[in-house]
Amino acid sequence: MWLSCSSVGRKFVMALTGACLVLFVTFHCVMNAVAICWPAAYNSICEFLGANWYALIASVGLAFLFIVHIIYALMLTVQNRKARGNVRYSIEKRPAGVEWASKNMLVLGIVVLAFLVVHLIQFWAKMQLQEIRGVEAAIPPAAGTLFIQEAFSLVWTPIVYIIGFIALWFHMNHGFWSMFQSCGWDNEIWIARLKKIGCWWTTIVIALFVAQAIVFTVKAHDKDYLKDPVLREQYKDMIPAMIEKDFGPDAAQLGNQIRMSPYEQVSMGIRQMEQGIRSQAEQMSSPEAKEYLKNNPAAAEQLEELQVRSESLGRVVAFFDYLEASDNQPEPEMNAIPNANPHK
Ligand code: HEM
């Protein structure tokens, strides 16, 4: 009761949830750095976490922290406004030492929340949520670098992210030291030190986020995450999981073949296999074959199986098409480049 009814209790909850969120944001920044330095390792982490129970517990815990932090922020704002009545600080009357951020924590929090909604739609909803729902998506949820590719190839993404990062800088910079104050830490020397530590911490984390957004945007425009041969091998190894459910007892053997063969060979082989199965299914569902199928339940079952497999392979072919879409774009011609061939 003390935590929700008293002002000190509410501030304590804000401070505790805020501290956990600062740690999460810092951890997230380190994870993004992995995506830049070792993109294949990043995808392996995405695969390891996925929608497994430990990742789900972490996500639910995180959502709980965000929700409690937001609800308590609203409660404290209402409480403060009631206490002050109609007297609100105006720019001129603001007491000395009251920072701009401290007066605007709610607005800054709303901007961060708006950024978060866009961000979760771009990533979490297409990765973990897809896995939870068991939906067959065009891109396997473990291919984190492809979701970065998708998000950062949109012109508005870096703009929205930079706005979110600026709001997060102000919000975290103020929240960092004020959470210690809320917990009763009122030693002036230490508050001054904590302000400095908070400012450094926030600035390093946000500067890294900005740098990451720039690197991701450049790489996405160069289509690096689609073309990189190491990543392509890794995406290819995600295919067995995409078709596992639809290939029944044959899935294990096909999966092994895919894993053991190089990307180019699998891309070609899957296309041929999909064509073969599709034309077989088409033949079996021709008007002439319909009568035969009516009286032959085993054949009807076989047709159903072929259709399921053809659909499954169709998704894999679409995945390869997506990866290879930029492969055959013509290189600039020699004589289109000025002075490229001085002897001509
Ligand atoms: C360059 C900047 C960023 C990139 C590239 C990025 C990337 C990602 C990715 C790929 C995921 C999905 C992970 C998964 O579901 O497996 C994710 C989730 C998430 N991100 Fe970010 N992120 C960035 C910045 C931020 C910031 C600044 C915040 C906080 C304000 C944030 C908060 C979250 C949250 C809350 C989740 C959901 C975590 C979960 O429940 O699994 N992200 N991000």
User: Which atom of ligand 1 sits closest to the CA of residue 148?
Assistant: 5
Interval between CA 233 and ligand 1 midpoint (Å): 25
Among 119, 146, 172, 208, the mutation site with the greatest number of ligand 1 atoms within 8 A of its Cβ is 119
Percent share of the chain, pLDDT over 70? 89
Among 48, 68, 123, 209, the mutation site with the greatest number of ligand 1 atoms within 8 A of its Cβ is 123
Interval between CA 155 and ligand 1 midpoint (Å): 19
Torsion, Cα 27 31 34 39, to 10 degrees, reads 180
Interval between CA 128 and ligand 1 midpoint (Å): 11
User: Which atom of ligand 1 sits closest to the CA of residue 124?
Assistant: 15
Interval between CA 290 and ligand 1 midpoint (Å): 51
User: Which atom of ligand 1 sits closest to the CA of residue 147?
Assistant: 10
For the ranges 57-71, 103-117, 276-290, the lowest mean pLDDT is seen at 276-290
Where is pLDDT greater, at 19 or 135?
A: 19
Q: What is the pLDDT of residues 109-130, one digit of tens each?
A: 899 999 999 999 999 999 999 9
- Which of 17-21, 208-212, 332-336 is predicted most confidently? 208-212
Q: What is the pLDDT of residues 6-60, one digit of tens each?
A: 778 888 898 899 999 999 999 999 999 999 999 999 999 999 998 889 999 999 9
pTM for the structure as a whole: 0.86
Reading the block at residue 154, the tokens are 């949109």
Interval between CA 29 and ligand 1 midpoint (Å): 9
Quick one: pLDDT at residue 290?
77
d(CA 47, CA 236): 14
User: Which atom of ligand 1 sits closest to the CA of residue 128?
Assistant: 15
pLDDT over 70 (residue 282):
yes
Interval between CA 165 and ligand 1 midpoint (Å): 12
Quick one: pLDDT at residue 333?
57
pLDDT over 90 (residue 78):
no
Chain centroid to CA 117: 11
CATH no. of 2-83+99-225: 1.20.1300.10
Where is pLDDT greater, at 99 or 76?
A: 76
Q: Ligand 1: which residue has its CA nearest to atom 1?
A: 213
Interval between CA 175 and ligand 1 midpoint (Å): 20
Which residues have C-beta atoms less than 6 Å from ligand 1? Answer: 25, 28, 32, 46, 49, 59, 62, 112, 116, 119, 123-124, 127-128, 144, 147-148, 161, 168, 209, 212-213, 216
User: Which atom of ligand 1 sits closest to the CA of residue 62?
Assistant: 40
Q: Ligand 1: which residue has its CA nearest to atom 28?
A: 25
Q: Ligand 1: which residue has its CA nearest to atom 4?
A: 32
Q: Ligand 1: which residue has its CA nearest to atom 37?
A: 124
pLDDT over 70 (residue 92):
no
Where is pLDDT greater, at 93 or 83?
A: 83
Q: Ligand 1: which residue has its CA nearest to atom 43?
A: 123
pLDDT over 50 (residue 337):
no
For the ranges 120-134, 215-229, 321-335, the lowest mean pLDDT is seen at 321-335
Q: Ligand 1: which residue has its CA nearest to atom 39?
A: 59
Chain centroid to CA 119: 7
